[in-house]
Amino acid sequence: MSLLDADTLRGLDALQGALRGQVRGQRAGDHRSLRKGPSVEFAEHRPYAPGDDLRRIDWNAYGRLDELVVRLSAAEEDVTLHLLVDASESMATGTPTKWHEAQRIAAAVGYASLTSGERVSLTVSLGGRTAPAAPLRGRGAWSRFERALESIVPEGRSCLDEAARRAITGPSGRDAAAVVLSDALDEGATLRCLALLSAARHSTTFVHLLSQDELDPRLDDDATLVDVETGERLDVAVDPGLLRAYSAKLDAFCREVETECQRRGVRYLAAFAAPPLLTLMARLFAAPARGAR
């Protein structure tokens, strides 16, 4: 059974237009990116900074303004999308599981990117390690991409920060696009991942996944909570106060993650309790609306 049915794929095709020009790449591709770069179509000037290519200095403007400026143009680039997916065991919780939701979102993003001619690099974090897959390009790679996603079984702990480190040091280099899928319940690994991507000037979007069970835990009696990743146990005496405190703590956590994303220039996209996929993708492809849930 495929991750995305035919209706979903058609819906994604319809969203392709919205995706164009909103991610940038290093090489000239077939879609327009928001990133300003050295291209034929002039966009604007900016002050010269050490390290800029001298060939991009607009000498005419220097003559008029007596100031070194660099020409910036709307880039026609070859875009690489880094898809970093948290496949730790915590993603296997919830009904449906967060991992299932992450698979579908990753599949949708990958499908959209592949059909747009972008190169898609899938990196999965699971079992305390990373499992990078070979970059894929073109619509024909969709089935391979989908199989790769389906074959993954969550396990162990997350190390998204390590996955990010691989992404920014790989062949795609700097200034790529990245989409990170995680529940961020990994003792800061996700936030470190986002920090690395941001430092590498990647256009990053963080899709925050939380299950309905995490948003509203149904605990009627005293229970022993078991951490699926560490096996640690915690006895709790359940009462409404505890549940209220938990909800407040969860809200604070989500706000903290969102705030961190804003501070790092990362788009924050909440995917709580399995929202409709196309709606989520529409928000993802739309103009940046940070903090939107």
Which range touches other proteins (CB under 8 A), out of 7-15, 42-50, 159-167, 237-245? 237-245
Residue 271 binds other proteins, judged by CB under 8 A: no
User: Which one, 176 or 189, has the nearer CB to other proteins?
Assistant: 189
Residue 183 binds other proteins, judged by CB under 8 A: yes
Which residues 93-112 are close enough to bind other proteins by CB under 8 A?
93-94, 98
User: Which one, 18 or 250, has the nearer CB to other proteins?
Assistant: 250
| CB within 8 Å of 102: residues ≥ 6 apart | 85, 86, 87, 91, 181, 182, 207, 209
CA nearest neighbour of 158 among 201, 178, 128: 128
Residue 237 binds other proteins, judged by CB under 8 A: yes
Which range touches other proteins (CB under 8 A), out of 107-115, 120-128, 165-173, 183-191? 183-191
User: Which one, 10 or 249, has the nearer CB to other proteins?
Assistant: 249
Can you tell me the distance from the alpha carbon of 156 to that of 240, in angstroms, rounded to the nearest whole number?
32
Cβ(229)–Cβ(125) under 8 Å? no
Question: Looking at this protein, which amino acid is placed at residue 44?
Answer: E
* Count of residues making up the chain: 293
Around 289, how many Cα atoms within 13 Å sit in the side-chain half-sphere?
Answer: 11
The DSSP annotation for 122-177 comes to: EEEEETTEEEE---EESGGGHHHHHHHHHT----S---HHHHHHHHHHSTT-SS-E
User: Which one, 126 or 141, has the nearer CB to other proteins?
Assistant: 126
Binding test (CB under 8 A) with other proteins, winner from 68, 250, 278, 282: 250
How many residues at the interface with other proteins, by CB under 8 A?
A: 38
Question: Which residues are near other proteins by CB under 8 A?
Answer: 90-91, 93-94, 98, 183, 185-187, 211, 214, 217, 219, 221-230, 232-237, 239-242, 245-246, 249-250, 253
